[in-house]
Each structure stands twice: as structure tokens, then as C-alpha cells.
Amino acid sequence: MTTKTAPRKPTIVTATPVAPTPVVESVVAPTPVDLDSLIAQQRAINEQVKAAKAAMPTKSKLERVIERQANQPDLWLRRKLLLRVVERAKAGQDATEAVDAVLALYRSGLLEALIPATEEDHATN
């Protein structure tokens, strides 16, 4: 089965005249680069940066560690300690005493583990 299609009409393209853009020569003459002045400017900027860095307050390593730990609390550890304190409180111990007792257990364990570690650090230094 063949179908007949109507012949297409050619599209007429009309050309619009384009006006040529005038060529304008640059009037601004290139400035010569003075390398010495650029180096002097860079040195002055570097000195300003150094002065600004020196004026900034500095934090000790311990202050940075404390700040980082305060901003990122260990939720797992907090939950673990809370469960132990709650268990003691339900058994009849005062909440403040329970907190002190749980922290004392961890404190002694941490100190026992820390002493050999600090001795190794002193031996290697």
C-alpha cells in the first residue's frame, strides 16, 4: 500500500542586510610593566599579611583540643555512662553518688592505661 504525500513547498529565505561594524583602533597605549614596582608591592602586601597573622590571638594545642572536644561530644559514651548511673539510681543509690562512683571507675581505669602510655612516650623522646 502506497500513500501519496503532498509535495513540499520550498521555504523562502530572505537575507537581511548586515551593516559592517567600523573598525576602531585602540587609542590606549600599553603601559610598560615596571617589574621592580610590582615586586615592591608584593613585598608590602606580604608584610601586611604577616603583621595581621602576628596580631591574631594564638591558641595553645591544649586549647584547640579542648575546643574541638567540646564541640563534638561523644554521644555513645554519654549514653553508656547515663545507663550505668540510671541503673545504680534505680537500685537505690543517690544520683550524685552514682555519677561520682561511675566516673571514679572510669577515672581509675583511664589512669592505669595512661601511665604505661606516657612512660613509652618518655622513653622514645
H helix intervals, the chain: 35-55, 61-71, 75-90, 95-124
Check whether 124 has a pLDDT greater than 60. Answer: yes
pLDDT in tens, 31-70: 666 888 889 999 999 999 999 888 888 888 899 888 888 8
Q: Which residue has the cell 591558641?
A: 59
CA angle 16, 22, 26 (to 5 degrees): 150
Helix (H, G, I), strand (E, B) or coil at 11: coil
Cβ within 8 Å of residue 67, ≥6 positions away: 59
pLDDT: which is higher, 27 or 44: 44
Per-residue pLDDT tens over the stretch 72-102: 878 888 899 999 999 999 999 999 999 999 9
Task: Name the residue among 83, 122, 121 with its Cα closest to residue 102.
Answer: 83
Confidence (pLDDT) at 9? 74
